[in-house]
Amino acid sequence: MVLIPVIGKLVSKRVVLASASPRRQEILTNVGLRFEVVPSWFKETLEKSSFATPYEYAIETAKQKALEVANRMHLKHLRTPDIVIGADTVVTVEKQILEKPVDKQDAYEMLSRLSGKEHSVFTGVAIVHCSSKDDCLETEVTDFYEETKVKFAELSEELLWEYIHSGEPMDKAGGYGIQALGGMLVEYVHGDFLNVVGFPLNHFCKKLAELYYPPPKHTIHHTKNDSIPSVETFENLSDGESDSSDPMHHKNANKLDRSGTPLSGAVQTLVNSCSTETSCMVTVENQSGVMEYSAKFPSKIVELMDGFRASKALFVASKLKVFDLLKDKCILKAVVVADKVEASVHGTERLLDACASLGLLDKTHQGYSNTDLANKYLVSDGEYSLHGYIIHSNDRLWHLFTHLEAAVKEGTMQTHQAFGKETEDLFQDSCYHSVEAKQRFMTAMHSIAKLTARDVATAFDLSQFRSACDLGGCTGVLAHELVQNYPNLNITVFDLPEVIANVSCFQPSGKHITPVTFTAGDFFKDNLPEADLYILSLILHHWNDEKIHILLSKISAICKPGSALLVAEMVLDEEKTYPPTAVLQSLSMTEGKQRSGSEYKQLLEKYGFTNVQIKITGNILDAILGFRKTSAH
C-alpha cells in the first residue's frame, strides 16, 4: 500500500484537518500530506447512549467536526475547502466510553479500571469532499472507523500515582497517552498503534486509495484479525510504488524521556517516526500525467515564521482587555468592541478575526464571544488568569527579545538596549523603579504560580514536614496551595521588603483560608527562618553560580538531618532541547541557566542533599526534592 500516488492527487487541493491535535498533525505531516489546520467548533455533546456502539459515536462526532469546519469556511471564511478530515478517538472498557479525567482521583479510578485488562480504542474518521454550486456548499462524506485492542499490565498503586502525578493523564481520553509516559503501562497492542495515538494512518491511506484509485474487483482481498474490523487491501494500485525504508529509522534508538528513562519499544517507534522527516520532497503528477518531485510545504517553518504575529495579537487583545469585555457568554459586534476599547472599527475587526483564527474567540453572525480557553485563562480577574504574565511578556520580554541578535553575539541580557539601563537583574529592574512596574511584575509571577502551584504542591508526599519556608515566594500562591494540601504545615513566605509590603491585595479571601506568614528579608544577606522544608520556586535558574553557592550553602547549613529542599523549575531533558519553553526562555541571557534533571541532582548533592527525586509534572514547572542527611563537603 503506497500513499505517494494519492498525495499527488491531493497536492493541488485545499485539504483541511478539523483538529487541533498535535499528534494527528504530526502523523499526517510525516507522510507528506500538505494541509491546513482549522480546529472544529463542534460541541461534543452527542448523547452517547443513543448510539448502539462506541464506534458509531466516534464516527458521528468526527463527521460533525468536519462538516462544521466545511460550512464555516464556506460561509464565513469565504474559502470553500476541497477536503476536510475529521477524527474522534474514544477509549472504551466494557462498552463504556471513558472521557478525559476531571481530576487526579478520577484519573486514578479510570486507570484502575484499565489495570490488567484489555480495552478498545476506536477512532472514527470522516473525509468530507466539498464543492460550491450556485454559492451553496455541497458535501460528500466518506467515513470509517478503526479499532485497536490495548492490554494494560497489572498496575501497582505506586506506579499508578507516579503516572498520575506526572500530569500526563489529565488531558487524555481514558487517562493515558501511549505515545509518551503512558507507554510504560501497556503490555501489548493488537492492531494499529497510531490509532491509539489518535489517527489510523494505514486505514486512512487505504480509504484514500479506494477513493482515488478504485481497484478492479478481482484485486480486493478481505482480511479479518480477531475483533479488528475487516479492511480491504489492494494490489497494483499504480506503478509509482517505491521503497519506504527510512535510513534515519535508528537515529534515536537510545533516546530517553525527560526523566532519563529509556522509552518503551512502542513509544520509541513513534518518537522515531515523528522526530525525523524521511524526505523533504513529495511526488506529484504534472499536467502530462508524469510523476515528478516537488518540495514539501514546510508547515513547521511557516508556523514559526508567523509565530510573532500570533503572540502580538494575543498581547494586544489582552492589553485592550478584549477578553474581559466578552466574558460571561457576552456576544458583541466588532463596532461595539471598538467603541469600548477606543479603537478603530477596521482595526478592531481584524484583531478579533485574528483571535478567532487562533481559537481564542468564537465568531458567529451575532458577533464575537470568548472560547472556554479565553474565559479560563485570558479574562483578567479569572482564578487561573494568565493576563498578568501576558502583559509582562508584552511590556518587558518582547523588548528584550527584540534585541536577541545582540544578546546572542554578546552573551548578555540586553536591558541596556531595550530599556537604557545597565542592570542585568530582571527582578530588581522590573519592580523597584516604580510602584506600577512593581505591581505588574508581581501580578505576572502571581498568574504563573496560580497555574503551577497545585502540581508542584502535590508532586511529592510532604506530610512528614511540620514547617516550611518559601524563599522568594512572592505573593504566597504556592504557600497557600501547600497549606490546602497539608493543613498541619506552618509555612512562611520569605521575600524582599518591597514585595512583602505589596502582597495584601493578592491574598485569597474566605473564612476557611489558613493564614500564611510573610516575613521580609534578603535571602542572600539575612538569616533564614528555621524550617523542616525549604522551597525555591523559579529562583535557581536566574542566578549565577556565585549567588547560587551563597544561597544553597546557607540553606544547607541551617537544615537539620531529615529536613529537605523542594525546587520548582523547568527541567530540561538531557540533550537540553526540551521542553521548548525552557530552552527559549534561556535566550534572555540572564546570568543563570536552565538545567537538566541530572544537573539539578548534582547541584543539590553538592550541597549535602541526598535521595534527590525529580517529578516531571506536565505543567510549566517540574519539581525536585532532596533530603538533608549529612553535612555538606
Would you please indicate which residues are annotated as catalytic (active-site) residues? 88
Query: Measuring CA to CA, which residue among 263, 75, 106 is closest to residue 170?
Result: 106
Q: What whole-number distance in Å separates Cα of residue 615 and Cα of residue 514?
A: 27
Please name the residues in contact with 620: beta carbons below 8 A apart, sequence gap of 6 or more: 448, 451, 452, 570, 581
Kindly give, in sequence order, each residue whose CB lies less than 8 Å from that of residue 47, ignoring residues fewer than 6 positions away: none
Do residues 149 and 191 touch, judged by C-beta distance below 8 A? Answer: yes
Strands, E assignment, 191-311: 221-225, 228-233, 281-285, 291-295
Q: List, in order, residues 6 or more apart from 186 with CB less than 8 Å away.
A: 150, 151, 152, 153, 178, 264, 266
> Could you tell me which residues come within 8 angstroms of residue 498 by beta carbon, excluding any fewer than 6 positions away?
431, 432, 438
Return d(Cα 416, Cα 406) in angstroms, integer. Answer: 11
Q: What element of type H or E holds 517?
A: strand 517-520
Residues 6+ apart with CB under 8 A from 185: 111, 114, 152, 153, 155, 159, 163, 176
Q: Is 174 helix (H, G, I), strand (E, B) or coil?
A: helix
Cell matching residue 401: 527579545
Strand 490-495 with 467-471, pairing: parallel
| 408 CB-side CA count, 13 A | 8
Strand partners, 145: 124
Cell numbers for 110, please give them.
479510570
| CA distances (Å), origin 306, targets 24, 312, 353 | 21, 10, 16
Three cell numbers written together for 183:
507507554
Report d(CA 591, CA 120) in Å as an integer.
51
- Quote the Cα angle for 80-81-85, to 5°: 140
CB under 8 Å to 19, separation ≥6 — which residues? 25, 37, 39, 40, 65, 85, 86, 87
Cα dist from 146 to 88, 110, 186, 200, 533, whole Å: 11, 22, 19, 7, 51
- Beta-carbon contacts of 546 under 8 Å, excluding residues fewer than 6 positions away, are none
